[in-house]
Amino acid sequence: MRLITLAAFLVFASFAGLIDRIEVIVGRQVITELQLEEELRVTAFLNETPSNDGGAQRQAAAERLIQQALIAREMRLTEYSADVGQEADKLFQKVEAMYGGDRSFREALRKYALTEDILRRHLMVQIRVLNFVGSRFRNEPGREGTDAELNRWIDDARRQVRIVYVDKSLAQNAP
């Protein structure tokens, strides 16, 4: 009986690996292959470029997801919360207009293997991250945060969290 249970577990575990393989571990958070592929498709969709999952694009997408994970960690630690639903709706409408209206927008979503929910979720994450970064680095009236400050903060956050590249090809050029 134990042998059958073990065999069943191994079969299901191997299927789970095929369904959504872990690509990067950021502290206690994982970035999966499906998340990485989705990030590539959403980026291509928003930039109106062909979907490309080449090495450099995968590395850039992995780096964006790592930065998002680091920022999300900081948001949790500082108990930051923001309702970005209305901002996301406005941005969603702009993206839809960018594609020339409902019909061509929906065709483009299908072309990039996306749904409205996936796009909305990504837009909400982007807005939440931008708002947090803005508040984190512009906490004094009239003070403008700089890219250098943000980069220093991200480098510091990277040092505080263990990042493991399960897919070693994503680690090329990693800081």
What is the full per-residue pLDDT of the chain (175 aa) written as tens digits? Answer: 555 554 444 455 455 445 679 999 999 999 999 999 999 999 999 999 998 878 899 999 999 999 999 999 999 998 988 889 899 999 999 999 999 989 999 999 999 999 999 999 999 999 999 999 888 877 655 556 677 888 898 999 999 999 999 998 888 655 5
Report pTM.
Answer: 0.80
152 touches 146 (CB < 8 A):
no
The CATH number for 130's domain is: 1.10.4030.10
Residue 98 sits in which domain range?
2-171
Number of folded domains that form the chain: 1
24 touches 168 (CB < 8 A):
no
